[in-house]
């Protein structure tokens, strides 16, 4: 297969940045297909560390990169990011970055409204990043969104903005916020449209032609499958489809061309923000995982909640996402532990056993993990580049994960360094 889809198989923060960077070096095109600047991918290249949010990871390797129609774009955040990586010596030009003309725009007041709505929810807050991502997707579905192509057409923009502000100004009044001046916003958006114009095109055409020519395409997702608006722990989810099926819709390619689906999977489990987390550890073990794994959000810097590996959840995302193989990351964080645990099932409040996480909010909050305990390992796995470098107990742990989630480990990452990767199966050639 010439194309690979990379998705997170948990709640995000699985280490997609390194794996995408590793694969992007061999790709002809990298396409980002959903999410917004709430994503955070950290890529380490030699001594340089790049923190990306909107830019596809391919830009760090000089690979042609596309921001697809499924992404919601804050143009101001995009150019701030371009400037930031530019200061590190990474020059982003229209020759390397293309932006879908039919992608939805995040307007300047969305973030303020997003934060106001979260505050109004009080204890029921979802835990959004407050960047207006959800509002942009709401407007898109409600057919009132401003799209990238609109930013160069004054008449169209003025008409569409009038409809959009009729809705949002009513909400702003309800939250006690200042209403938006449409005339001033039109001028700001037209100015930004001129700045974006050299990067904009019908990216679906470029991606489809690349696929038809047999070029290697890497489809890059954001967040994780458990934050999918349909298949995640609703309502504590993001506002887009994060499973692999969204790669086709969010880039304009037919589903038969997306190729091998690689699920990035952390060797334990983390989550940022609110929502159910059956294997969460609030004790010294959980704190130790967070400290050794440096579990802080790339975008928000919020500490991540940590817990044991949940095979039920990953098995579920393997099935809903059609995942062909796993890229297992951060195995080295488990080094030095006397024992490690894997969640193999849940027990409900009525004593019932569940092999997957129920959709009910009540049950998601109430189920208790059923654990299987394995022997830990004292020797380090960090920097391993072949199976012979790993302790026998660590290999046993990896094999047990494969059995429980019904998917093979295709790649095993043993440190943030891109070369510290054991390739079991090449996703491009599978």
CA distance 153 to 162: 14
Q: Which residues contact 170 (CB under 8 A, 6 or more apart)?
A: none
How would DSSP label each residue in 80-128? HHHHHHHTTT----TTTEEEETTPEEPPTTHHHHHHHHHHHHGGG----
Residue position matching structure tokens 């990871």: 57
CA dihedral 318, 72, 254, 23 (to 10 degrees): -60
Tokens of 15: 């280490």
Phi-psi region of 306 (alpha: psi -120 to 50; beta: other; left: phi over 0): beta
Which position among 13, 74, 228, 332 bears the catalytic label?
A: 13
CA distance 248 to 215: 16
Do 93 and 86 form a contact (C-beta atoms < 8 A)? no
Tokens of 231: 């298949």
- Active-site residue, 13 included: yes
* DSSP 3-state of 145: coil
Which position among 21, 37, 41, 74 bears the catalytic label?
A: 41
Catalytic residue list: 13, 41
């Amino acid at each position: 297969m010439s194309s690979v889809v990379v998705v997170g198989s948990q709640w995000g923060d699985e280490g997609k940045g390194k794996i995408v960077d590793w694969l992007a070096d061999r790709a002809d095109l990298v396409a980002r297909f959903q999410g917004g600047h709430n994503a955070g991918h950290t890529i380490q290249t030699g001594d340089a560390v790049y923190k990306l949010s909107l830019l596809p990871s391919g830009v760090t390797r000089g690979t042609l990169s596309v921001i697809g129609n499924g992404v919601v774009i804050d143009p101001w955040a995009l150019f701030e990011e371009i400037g930031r990586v530019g200061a590190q010596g990474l020059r982003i030009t229209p020759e390397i970055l293309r932006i879908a003309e039919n992608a939805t725009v995040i307007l300047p007041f969305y973030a303020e409204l997003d934060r106001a709505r979260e505050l109004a929810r009080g204890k029921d807050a979802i835990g959004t990043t407050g960047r207006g991502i959800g509002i942009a997707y709401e407007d898109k579905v409600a057919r009132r969104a401003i799209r990238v192509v609109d930013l160069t057409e004054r008449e169209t923009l003025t008409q569409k903005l009038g409809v959009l502000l009729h809705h949002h100004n009513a909400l702003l009044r309800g939250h006690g916020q200042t209403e938006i001046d449409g005339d001033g916003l039109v001028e700001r958006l037209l100015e930004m449209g001129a700045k974006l114009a050299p990067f904009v095109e019908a990216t679906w055409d470029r991606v489809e032609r690349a696929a038809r020519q047999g070029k290697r395409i890497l489809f890059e997702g954001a967040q994780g499958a458990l934050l999918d608006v349909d298949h995640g722990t609703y309502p504590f989810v993001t506002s887009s489809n994060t499973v692999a099926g969204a790669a086709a819709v969010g880039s304009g390619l037919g589903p038969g061309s997306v190729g091998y689906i690689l699920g990035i999977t952390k060797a334990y489990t983390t989550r940022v923000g609110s929502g159910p987390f059956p294997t969460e550890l609030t004790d010294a073990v959980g704190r130790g995982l967070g400290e050794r794994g440096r579990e802080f959000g790339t975008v928000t810097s919020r500490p991540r909640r940590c817990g044991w590996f949940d095979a039920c959840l990953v098995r579920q995302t393997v099935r809903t996402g059609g995942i062909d193989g796993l890229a297992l990351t951060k195995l080295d964080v488990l080094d030095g532990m006397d024992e490690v645990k894997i969640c193999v099932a849940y027990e409900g409040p009525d004593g019932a056993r569940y092999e997957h996480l129920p959709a009910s909010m009540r049950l998601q909050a109430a189920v208790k993990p059923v654990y299987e305990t394995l022997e830990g390992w004292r020797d380090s796995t960090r920097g391993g580049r072949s199976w012979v470098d790993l302790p026998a107990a660590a290999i046993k742990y990896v094999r047990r994960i494969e059995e429980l989630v019904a998917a093979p480990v295709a790649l095993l990452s043993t440190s943030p360094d891109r070369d510290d990767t054991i390739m079991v199966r090449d996703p491009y050639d599978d």
